[in-house]
Amino acid sequence: MQFTRSKLLTMCLLASSLTLTACSKSENAQKDDTLTATAPATGQASNITERNAQQRLISTLEKNLKASNINVKILDIKTTEVPNLYWATLEGLPPVYVTNDGKYIIQGEVIRIGDKELHNVSEPLQAELNKKHFSSLKTEDLIVYPAKGKAKHVVYVFTDASCPYCHKLHEQMDDINAKGIEVRYIAWPRGDQFMPTMESIWCSADRKTAFDQAIAGVQLAPANCKNPVKQQYQLGQTIGVNGTPAIYNSNGVYLGGYLSASELASRLNN
């Protein structure tokens, strides 16, 4: 998918009204590079130099985005293994790659070749971010299916009661739990028309029963409580969910969409 100006503008509008604070590297590579004679030893000096470079990238990227009428808050920026390529975390939007001159944004995957297996450059960076998001979730805001016996693994699953593959995964819940896997459902309605049902499920006194009923086609009573469905949907948007089910382990690593109980256990154990 191309990261066009219109696409980014659309994403920014969906993310609502945001302000911009970015990490950008200035075109002037000479400016502010010099450390004082009192700077600490090599390791710390290197960190200071890197922070200076990132601060320049903040300024340049902020300037260029504003010039393109794009308003989005940049939460963080990190170096990648690719020379002169940074990874920027945006508020309410999936992260993107940014060139060190702050002129180019790249949406999509960057793959390292040369080894027996292909390596997605952003995978460890995205997983680290996902892990932080998942650890901040409250279990009372989720639908939790505990493991039978001692829990070996915990997975987070973005789900929608209208999704056929979510139904198929849900049918295997007993087998999944029997393999020592705890499943934590996060609401992710696939469209506005599915939002009311998911809110009704999350407002039910017994969410598990309500979820089962919704899957069976039962029309649930309208929601009448404060609920986290929209916030959970936004979380999925932020980390790049684009379909359900979307399964992640507790370390934030994306495992896949629909998986059988055996496939899920195999991926977690490996």
Catalytic residue IDs: 160, 163, 166, 190
Task: Give residue 141's identity as a one-letter amino acid code.
Answer: D
CA 214 from centroid of its chain's CA atoms: 26
